[in-house]
């Protein structure tokens, strides 16, 4: 299996995918290698990605909180953040780090506090405090709590949040700004990928994974063949065994092409050996 992050890893900085990368992914699936897209993106943003990747079946979205079928456009499974944990985290961060604002991601619903920066082109949705946000839309699972600070160093913000509230959820980040992404305790890209692999009879040793940011660390630590793209966060580069080119230089495609070429060469060698063995046995017949 190939498991790849999207933003900063597979997607170029302009959020497009090169023809080379598209071809490499298709070649992998033609060779019997399943492709999983493992992203921090919410489900409401997967439609744009699916325009490029709809030929490749499955995505793990929201940092492991959801499994999504790209072909059918349907949610397969969700691993929500309990609302009481989300509220406990919000209260702890707001008390210790003034200026922190919050938003929430449900299955197909985004809501933000008045002070949280808008991220949608049409931001006409009603805004409210975190208590009101969590009380609304309860028919949809709560996939992520987002915490934003206007000026803190992103790594400092993450370290402080882990100390203050790490027991209530899985806290990570993938943005260049001070934006934290918070899932349910024990829910990460790694845990959901491991579950999906187990359901398919795929072991960690058979997984090639690609990533660039701290939210990819657990997945890269679990996979048998972890690759950091050249533009990855320093922590990811330091923790990851293998390297490849940047997201703008088809880093993922380069590895896939090498792996498929090596696999084809091994298959050809095996075939030649089998043919030679059959010929030798034929020569020995009385």
Reply yes or no on whether the pLDDT at 51 is more than 70: no
How many Cβ atoms from other residues are within 10 Å of residue 40's Cβ? 26
Q: How confident is the model at residue 121 (pLDDT cuts 50, 70, 90)?
A: low
Q: 52 pLDDT exceeds 90?
A: no
Average pLDDT value for the chain: 91
Question: With contact defined as beta carbons under 8 Å apart, do 113 and 131 qualify?
Answer: no
191-216 burial, b for 16+ CB within 10 Å, e for fewer? Answer: bbbbebbeeeebebeebbbbbbbbbb
Report whether 58 contacts 197 (CB < 8 A): no
- pLDDT for 56: 65
C-alpha to C-alpha distance for 189 and 175, rounded to whole angstroms: 16
- Identify the DSSP state of 222: H
- What is this structure's pTM? 0.90
The per-residue pLDDT for range 233-281, each reduced to its tens digit, is 999 999 999 999 999 999 999 999 999 999 988 877 776 666 666 665 6
- CA torsion, ordered 188, 191, 196, 198, to nearest 10 deg: 170
pLDDT tens by residue, 99-108? 999 999 999 8
Q: Which of 176, 189, 154 is nearest to 64 (CA)?
A: 189
């Amino acid at each position: 299996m190939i498991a790849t992050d999207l933003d900063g890893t597979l997607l170029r900085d302009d959020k497009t995918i090169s023809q080379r990368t598209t071809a490499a992914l298709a070649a992998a699936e033609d060779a019997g290698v399943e492709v999983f897209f493992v992203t921090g993106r919410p489900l409401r943003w997967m439609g744009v990605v699916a325009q490029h990747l709809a030929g490749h079946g499955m995505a793990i979205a929201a940092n492991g909180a959801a499994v999504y079928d790209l072909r059918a456009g349907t949610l397969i499974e969700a691993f929500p953040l309990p609302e009481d944990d989300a509220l406990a985290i919000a209260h702890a961060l707001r008390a210790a780090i003034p200026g922190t604002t919050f938003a929430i991601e449900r299955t197909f619903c985004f809501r933000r506090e008045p002070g949280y920066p808008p991220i949608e082109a049409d931001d006409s949705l009603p805004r409210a405090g975190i208590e009101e946000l969590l009380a609304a839309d309860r028919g949809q699972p709560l996939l992520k709590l987002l915490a934003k600070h206007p000026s803190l160093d992103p790594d400092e913000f993450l370290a402080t949040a882990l100390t203050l509230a790490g027991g209530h959820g899985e806290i990570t980040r993938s943005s260049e700004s001070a934006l934290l992404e918070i899932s349910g305790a024990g829910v990460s890209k790694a845990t959901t990928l491991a579950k999906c692999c187990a359901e398919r009879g795929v072991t960690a040793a058979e997984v090639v994974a690609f990533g660039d940011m701290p939210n990819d660390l657990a997945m890269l630590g679990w996979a048998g063949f972890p690759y950091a793209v050249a533009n990855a966060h320093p922590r990811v580069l330091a923790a990851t065994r293998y390297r490849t080119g940047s997201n703008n230089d088809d880093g993922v495609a380069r590895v896939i092409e090498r792996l498929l070429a090596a696999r084809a060469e091994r298959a050809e060698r095996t075939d030649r050996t089998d043919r030679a063995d059959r010929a030798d046995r034929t020569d020995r017949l009385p």
